[in-house]
């Protein structure tokens, strides 16, 4: 196949390079501008259409180095379970060996819980980063007890609606040494926060997305771009080496997302405590605006997740001519567990205001996901609208 090279050919060519060719290599290396584009990766599209993100040499190379330093001794055998189009596998998974001399294990070409368990067991992986959906699937998998995951010294979860109970289960039921949360996005090329070293406080480790990563600035602002006080909710803005160059061929969207002084508007809402730990609140795009007040899906998801029969839940809205929006929920149950819609609503009645309780609840076996494994709430809304229109 044209324009492709095997790994063995690459090694052979590197071993017989003449000094003259090496000199040419180093000369060409000097021509590279650290601030020039290196890669274009697409966002997951979980809350909208995927956007092409242009990342620079300095963003990708340095984010890999900082990630390697952050994980430290944990990163001996790194498991990269997400698809190759995701930044954690396609970029960091490819570059981590050069930064840490670690081994990177890619279990499969596509999202596969069984392949991940098998890889961890056979390859004795020590570190992994993934979303909560993978671990829900692992905990519910019928073959879980065939594999040992005790080699994992550290696992970090990224995403929304991560219940503290899930992190505790990973430690107690799977024997994982340490768990925590991280926060980042494609537009930032890497992690913005991590709770890895919040080990002295289990509650903080399990509920917070962590503190700011090195060489990154974070602040929380109101709708006018003014920094909010500690403990007050605001939009997360980030600035530093890892911020994207922009969206490919979309100057207008880039200008909307990055301020003139380099701050990346993430579109995510959070709070910060007095020690600099951040707590995820939700995405601005996902706020459900009703005549009775604003509804934050993550709040409802966390409460529904407290029901003993619930394994995974995703809350969203569909348009309504009377109340602006109707709250809806798709719920996956634990294996062998049952639950009725009215039973779940009764459970929620003592924990949520009436206008926050989903009007439409559906129990499902799986969720529509993007190529990076994230649940597509746009698709959930489409499914719900189609179902309601069919019934009516």
pLDDT of residue 1: 61
CA 116 to chain centroid, in Å, comes to: 17
Q: Is the pLDDT of residue 269 over 90?
A: yes
Q: Parallel, antiparallel, or unpaired: how do β-strands 127-130 and 154-158 relate?
A: parallel
Q: Where are the beta strands (DSSP E) in 34-116?
A: 37-42, 52-56, 77-79, 103-105
Q: Is the pLDDT of residue 74 over 60?
A: yes
What is the enclosing helix (H) or strand (E) of 59?
Answer: helix 57-71
Q: Is the pLDDT of residue 79 over 60?
A: yes
At the topology level, CATH places domain 287-391 in GMP Synthetase; Chain A, domain 3 (3.30.300)
Q: Parallel, antiparallel, or unpaired: how do β-strands 360-363 and 77-79 relate?
A: unpaired
Digit-coded pLDDT (tens) for 121-134: 999 999 998 888 88
What token pair was written down for 206?
């399990």
Locate the domains of the chain by residue range: 10-282, 287-391
Mean pLDDT (whole number) for 65-73 = 85
* Whether this model's pTM surpasses 0.85: no
Digit-coded pLDDT (tens) for 200-214: 666 666 789 999 999
- The upper half-sphere exposure of residue 224, i.e. CA atoms within 13 Å in the direction of its Cβ, equals 3
Mean pLDDT (whole number) for 214-237 = 96
Digit-coded pLDDT (tens) for 35-55: 899 989 888 766 667 889 999
What is the enclosing helix (H) or strand (E) of 295?
Answer: strand 293-295
Q: Is the pLDDT of residue 15 over 60?
A: no
At the topology level, CATH places domain 10-282 in Rossmann fold (3.40.50)
pLDDT of residue 45: 66
Digit-coded pLDDT (tens) for 236-255: 999 999 999 999 999 999 99
Mean pLDDT (whole number) for 284-300 = 86
Query: Looking only at Cα atoms, what is the longest distance across the chain?
Result: 77
**What CA–CA distance (Å, rounded) separates 111 from 30?**
39
Beta bridge partners of 316: 328
What token pair was written down for 120?
């961890």
Reduced to 3 states, what is the DSSP secondary structure of residue 297?
A: helix
Mean pLDDT (whole number) for 47-70 = 87
* Dihedrals phi, psi of 53, to nearest 5 degrees: -100, 125
**What CA–CA distance (Å, rounded) separates 177 from 184?**
23
Beta bridge partners of 240: 216
pLDDT of residue 392: 59
Q: Which residue has the tokens 């499969």?
A: 108
pLDDT of residue 153: 95
Q: Which residue has the tokens 């509804």?
A: 295
Among candidates 124, 113, 123, 179, which has minimal Cα distance to 150?
124
Contact 157, 181 (CB under 8 A): yes
Q: Which residue has the tokens 């005790």?
A: 150
């Amino acid at each position: 196949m044209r324009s492709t090279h095997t790994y063995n050919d690459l090694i052979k060519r590197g071993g017989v390079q003449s000094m003259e060719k090496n000199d040419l290599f180093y000369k060409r290396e000097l021509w590279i501008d650290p601030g020039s584009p290196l890669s274009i990766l697409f966002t997951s599209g979980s809350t909208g259409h995927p956007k092409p993100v242009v990342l620079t040499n300095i963003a990708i190379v340095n984010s890999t180095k900082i990630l390697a330093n952050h994980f430290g001794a944990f990163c001996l055998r790194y498991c990269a379970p997400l698809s190759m189009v995701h930044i954690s596998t396609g970029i960091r998974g490819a570059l981590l060996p050069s930064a840490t001399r670690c081994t990177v294990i890619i279990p499969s070409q596509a999202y596969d819980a069984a392949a991940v368990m098998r890889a961890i067991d056979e390859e004795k992986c020590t570190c992994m980063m993934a979303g909560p959906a993978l671990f829900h699937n692992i905990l519910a998998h019928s073959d879980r007890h065939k594999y040992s995951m005790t080699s994992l010294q550290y696992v970090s979860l990224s995403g929304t609606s991560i219940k503290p109970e899930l992190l505790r289960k990973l430690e107690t039921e799977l024997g994982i040494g340490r768990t925590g949360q991280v926060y980042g996005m494609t537009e930032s090329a890497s992690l913005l926060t991590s709770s890895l070293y919040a080990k002295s406080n289990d509650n903080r480790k399990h509920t917070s997305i962590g503190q700011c990563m090195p060489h990154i600035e974070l602040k929380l602002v109101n709708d006018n771009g003014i920094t909010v006080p500690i403990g007050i909710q605001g939009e997360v803005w980030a600035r530093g080496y890892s911020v994207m160059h922009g969206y490919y061929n979309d100057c207008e969207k880039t200008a909307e997302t990055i301020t003139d002084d380099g701050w990346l508007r993430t579109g995510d809402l959070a709070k910060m405590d007095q020690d600099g730990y951040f707590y995820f609140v939700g995405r601005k795009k996902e706020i459900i605006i009703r005549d009775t007040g604003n509804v934050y899906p993550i709040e409802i998801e966390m409460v529904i997740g407290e029901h003993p029969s619930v394994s995974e839940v995703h809350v969203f809205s569909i348009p309504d001519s009377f109340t602006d929006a109707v709250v809806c929920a798709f719920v996956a149950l634990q294996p062998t567990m049952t639950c009725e819609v009215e039973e779940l609503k009764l459970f929620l009645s003592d924990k949520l205001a009436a206008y926050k309780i989903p009007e439409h609840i559906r129990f499902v076996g799986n969720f529509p996901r993007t190529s990076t494994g994230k649940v597509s709430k746009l698709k959930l809304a489409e499914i719900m609208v189609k179902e309601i229109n069919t019934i009516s």
